[in-house]
Amino acid sequence: MRLDLFLKASRLSSRRAVAQALCDAGAISVNGVRAKSARALRVGDEITLRRRNHLLTVRVLAVPTTRQTSRTEAAGLFEVLSDIAVSENEHGVSENEHG
């Protein structure tokens, strides 16, 4: 399943267009690599989403066979690995990105 469709099905993103915009902005990576919205996902992939001052990392547990998932099904598609607040310096780069 495409990354943007997974983000919508799992309810990590409210709409597919929002997921695509996040990918285009470079705010989403899969297995540590910046990802495009059409990237195919597999079970075990780790997705990192950056939104404002928030960094969420999840592991894909299941890939749905349909675009529509119920709220309870969506919760079982991934597990949260980390969910942290990050601060930004004056250049707009998070402190965690400086290695």
2-16, 31-45, 54-68, 76-90: range with lowest mean pLDDT: 76-90
The 10s digit of each residue's pLDDT in 15-36 is 999 999 999 999 999 999 999 9
Identify the structural domains of the chain with CATH numbers, from first to last.
3-98 (3.10.290.10)
Pick from 47, 42, 10: which is nearest to 28 by CA? 47
pTM for this structure? 0.81
Per residue in 62-99, pLDDT tens? 998 877 888 888 889 999 999 998 876 544 444 444 44
Contacts of 29 (CB under 8 A, 6+ apart): 35, 47, 48
pLDDT at 98: 43
Question: What's the mean pLDDT in 54-64?
Answer: 93
pLDDT score of 40 more than 80: yes
